[in-house]
Structures are given as structure tokens and as C-alpha cells.
Amino acid sequence: MKELRSYATPRQLEYLDAIEVHGSNRKAAKAMGVHRTAVDRTMEALKTKAARHGWSPAHDLTHPVAPGQRLKGASTLYKDGKVALQWVKSSADDVAQEAALQAALLAMAEDMPRLAPVVSPIVTAPHLCNVYTLTDSHVGMLAWHREGGDDWDLKIAEKVLIGCFEQMVMSSPQATTCVVAQLGDFLHYDSALSAETPMHGHSLDADGRMPKMVKVAIRILRRVIDITLLKHEKVVLLLAEGNHDISSSVWLRAMFSALYENEPRIEVIDSELPYYVHQHGKTMLGWHHGHLKKNDQLPILFASQFPKIWGDTTKRYAHTGHRHHKEVKEHSGMTVQQHSTLAARDAYAARGGWTSERGVEAVTYHTEYGQVGTVTIIPEMLEAA
């Protein structure tokens, strides 16, 4: 257990602590209020990650490779059932290369040309705020209708995301303020070397290489922001961390902060933690992708993380994604809305039998009264337009 800790995420560390305290995966799961399979799968993923770095005692791998490297292969010679010789081959770790990529992108943002301000609309309603949510868009994913019911690739993603977002904005009230809530997993994968999830290393079906995916993603976000600037006086931009794009969310925030530095009507929410908040009068709005905390845990988290805003408000709402289907539930002092996605199902979701209605929803909030309206757009509406 001790050796595994150096490879664990914060959530995996919680599981390790629970296992050590309670003595087994089953008892740890019961104490944490999760299903036994969640603990089993998390531990297997952690062991797999450790093995990729050269630590797997069950397979006689007890010499981790150097920092910045990952295990490429190992050959073991046994004599009388014991290890006699072992050759360990390593290669450059994509995590270290991702860190270098992030640093380069942040440096690039410092010298990026800034866009000129856009003329503000004349008449807006100052008491209203529209929240436009895009979550789990998975730009760069490849899906086939024979498996999941619908096709999805870079071209389709750009058309559907921009088209549905434009209809969502056009159908919403003329609020003074809006929040573009890109709630994470906007990019399908996070590595320049391989299409896999950054936390657990699961292989993903991808359309094209990462540079192509990044260009399409930036183009979509630029168009989304342009649409909202034409309608609203103030645009709050949230580019949240998801479990598929942990690194990419960092450079996206840095890039768009620099890009719109000279646009006084745009505010980019900049947070190192994956919990985000905006106050609209007596209404508190919070966001979290959903990969680290369950929905019913968010009220107490936001209350403790943002006590002043919590105390200054009487209406409180949190928005999540991650699970790809809609759910709205009132908890202690806060209503939590889980949003569905516009993306099609990939092979993994289809084979697992997970289904959900595709769509996006804009929610309008009042400074005094909280939620006062919603607009829902589904992909089929683009075909009918």
C-alpha cells in the first residue's frame, strides 16, 4: 500500500486510507458509501498505473523507473523459481511531456494577439443571468451509429455544438449577464502521444490526432463566445476541468484569458481547484464536473469553500456533468442539476448499456428569485431548422 501512494490521485488516496483503516475493499466501500466495484476498479486502475512505472510486486517488478519515464518492457530470467536476472526498459513518460506542453502553451499565451472589444448590445435585463451549459462534449471522440445509435467525429461535433448553442442563446431572454459553462470533458483525451484517459489510462476511440482536435475545440469556443457577446453585456466564461481533459483545461483557461484580455465584457473564471462559483445578486451559482464529488456532497463543499457567497445568498444552485444524463435534485440549501450531453455514445458506453437523452439546457436566474426559466435544445432540432 505504501508504494502505491506515490502513484495515486487524491480520490485514490481516500480509497487507500479507507482500506487501511477498515481492512478490506468491501468494508472500505461500505464506510465510504460507495459500491464495492468502485473500490475494486479504482484499486485495479491504480495498480495498472504503478505497473506502467515499474512497480508490480505480484509480477516481480520492484524497481520503479526514473521520474519522467514509464515502463516500456521487462524481461525476467527465473532460476529455481527465483529471479536471477531482470532487464527493465523504459521510455519517456507522456505525463512529463504533457507538463512541458502546458508550460509552452502558457508561455505562448503571454505573447498571443489580443482581440479588440466588441460593441455591447443596447437593451438588456440587469436582473437576469443566463447560464449556457456545454458538458461532456468529447470533441475528438469517434462514435459509430451501428454501435451507439449516432455518429460522432470532429466535423459532426463542430456542427452540432455550435448549432445547438446558437439556438439555445437565441431562445433565451435578453439578460445582461450570461455564463458560458463549459463543464469539462470538452476534449475527448488529454495526451499528445496516445488517446487514453489521464486518470486511469483507458483506451479511447479517437478521430484524428491531438493537434487537429485542439484546433476544432478552439474554433468551437471562439464561435460560442462570439455568439454570446452579441447578446449580452457581460460574459462569464468557465472552462472547467474534466476527467478526460485535466491538462487541457489548464491551457484553455490561460489561452482564452490572454485572448480576451482587452475585452472588458469577458470574465474568465480562474481557479486551480475544480470547484467554481459566481454570485448573481442573492443567487449563488456553482459548478463542478462531477468526477471528484457526488452531487449530494456539493452543498456542504460549496458552503465551506465559499462561505461568504453562501452567507450572502438565499437561492443556491450547482451544476454538474460527467454522468451524461439529466438529474435535478434539491439537497440541503442547494439545488444540484446534472446536465446531459450533446455527444453521441461511444463503443464503451454502448457496450456498457448506458443510455441518455442528448441535449443542452439554458437556465435563467433572477437576482432575487433564483431560477425563473429554462430553454432546452436537442440535436434533432438542427435537422428540422
Q: How many Cα neighbours within 13 Å face the side chain of 32?
A: 26
Q: Give the predicted TM-score (pTM) of the model.
A: 0.74
Say which residue the cell 502558457 belongs to.
106
Pairing of strands 175-182, 234-239: parallel
pLDDT in tens, 102-143: 665 665 566 667 788 888 887 799 999 999 999 999 999 999
Q: What is the dihedral of CA 137, 141, 145, 146, to 10 degrees?
A: -140
> How far are the Cα atoms of 280, 283, 310, 318, 323 from residue 369, in angstroms, in the given order?
11, 8, 15, 16, 29
Burial of 297 from C-beta contacts in 10 A (0-12 / 13-18 / 19+):
middle
CA distance 372 to 176: 15
> Could you tell me the three cell numbers for 20?
487501511
In degrees and rounded to multiples of 5, residue 208 shows phi and psi of: 85, 180
pLDDT at 339: 98
Supply the pLDDT for residue 99: 60
d(CA 12, CA 18) in angstroms, rounded, equals 10
Residue limits of CATH 3.60.21.10 in the chain: 95-384
> Which cell is 131 given?
447560464
Give the pLDDT confidence score for residue 111 in this predicted structure.
Answer: 65
Contact 198/246 with Cβ under 8 angstroms?
yes
Predicted pLDDT at 39: 82
Contact 290, 340 (CB under 8 A): no
Residue 198 burial (CB count, 10 A): 20
By C-alpha distance, which of 187, 196, 188, 190 is closest to 52?
196
CATH for 95-384 (2.30.40.10, 3.90.1210.10, 1.10.260.40, 3.60.21.10): 3.60.21.10
Mean pLDDT, the chain cut into blocks of 10 residues (385 residues total): 71 84 89 82 79 66 59 63 63 58 61 79 91 97 92 96 97 97 94 68 79 91 96 97 92 91 94 95 98 96 97 98 95 96 90 89 98 97 79
